[in-house]
Amino acid sequence: MTTIKDSVVLVTGGSRGLGKALVEELYERGAAKVYATARDPRAVTHPDAVPLALEVTDPASVAAVAARTPDVTVLINNAGISLGAHSLLDAPLDDVRREFETNFYGPLLVTRALVPVIERNGGGHLLNVHSVLSWLGIAGSYSATKAALWSQTNSLRLELRPRGIEVTGLHVGYIDTDMTSGIDAPKSDARDVAALALDGVEAGAHEVLADDLTRSVKAGLSGDLAALYPKLAL
């Protein structure tokens, strides 16, 4: 079981949105140190956080961050992008590749680099931020990247358990952040989602379903596809 108090945590994408809320909630729970990464570390505003420059798609950048964080016990892969490549048939292939590089390969690169660190420190926890769109293919390549990340997380859970590292996947619908500012739909507060995510980490939960929409979609996965995709029933 992972305890946030006195832990040392690395949060990717820690300068805004859910990442910023996670940094704040970690310190509220007594984390000893939180490394908050961003492409521009000057964007990290929490007064106690340790800002680090990180481009998750660049192996050299990832390796540099791993070398500067030898005390990490908890890794939170939060960084991600959405380029609006909603049509797999028409979206620029470069946009599809970029979303996969950031949302799937990025977390994998960071995890590979930090697992030996966490293991040397006696074990700990990995939290990957997914989406309800891991289970709904309505956002083109973004949905595909989150589905792939969900599968990656499930595989890592099995691989890392013998190494003393627990794994939690966070699934959530719309969060009230810059990324969703143009979307007119019910949204969760980022601090509420951060609190639920860390509750799950401390409880050793395999998955955290952070809102009613996510719980409903997950429950419907065993049903007929037409229930999730009404157009199929027409």
> Tokens 């998955």 identify what position?
207
Catalytic entry in 27, 35, 105, 146:
146
Q: Is 142 a catalytic residue?
A: yes
Instruction: Based on DSSP, count helices (H) and strands (E) in the chain, helices before strands.
Output: 8, 7
Q: Is 27 a catalytic residue?
A: no
Q: Report d(CA 5, CA 48) in Å as an integer.
A: 15
The residues, any chain, with a CB within 8 Å of residue 50's CB and separated by 6 or more, are 33, 34, 35, 36
Backbone φ and ψ for 167, nearest 5 degrees, come out as -130, 130
Catalytic entry in 5, 35, 142, 218:
142
The residues, any chain, with a CB within 8 Å of residue 30's CB and separated by 6 or more, are 4, 5, 6
Catalytic positions are 142, 146
